Amino acid sequence: MSLTRVVLASGRATDLCELRLSSTYGGMPEGYPCKPVNDMAIKGLLHEAERTFPTTPIHLVPPPREYPHQYAGALGPVEVLPPVACVGTFRSTALDPNHDPVLHRSTLTIIWFQHTPHVPCECDAERGVREVDWEGLARDCEL
C-alpha cells in the first residue's frame, strides 16, 4: 500500500512507498548556509539513501539555490536551499513489457527539496519530481 500516487509529466503514475522528511539546516552545528555547507548536506542525503536503499537507483533533483543579499562570510556568499529535504522511494509498473506485471515493478528513490513539509500527491509534487525521466532512471525489480 502506498502513501500516495504521483503522476509524472510523462503521464506515468508512480506510488510513493516511503518518504523521509528532514530539516535542510536542522543539523547545521554552526556557521551559515553557503555552497560548501549545502553540498555537504546533499552529499549526506545521497550517502544515506544509498545505505538505506542499496538495491534501488538514486536520483537527485537539483535543488533551487537562492542568494539573499547578506554578508558573505569566510565560506563565501550566503546560499539557501528550500527548508525541507525529502527522500522518497517510488514504484510503478515494470519498464520491460516482457516482465510479468504481477511479479515486477520499477523503482526509483528520489531526493528533492521543497518549501513545506507536505506529502506530494497526484500532480502537486515539486516540478523536478514530476519531470523525472522514469524510463531512463528507474530499474525493474521482482517482488
pLDDT digits (tens, 9 = 90+) for 91-143: 999 999 888 888 999 999 999 999 999 998 877 889 999 999 999 999 999 88
Contacts of 55 (CB under 8 A, 6+ apart): 141
pTM: 0.92
Could you tell me the three cell numbers for 84?
Answer: 525541507
For 35-60, write each residue's pLDDT tens digit.
999 999 999 999 999 999 999 999 99
Q: Which residue has the cell 519498464?
A: 95
For residue 138, the 8-state DSSP code is -
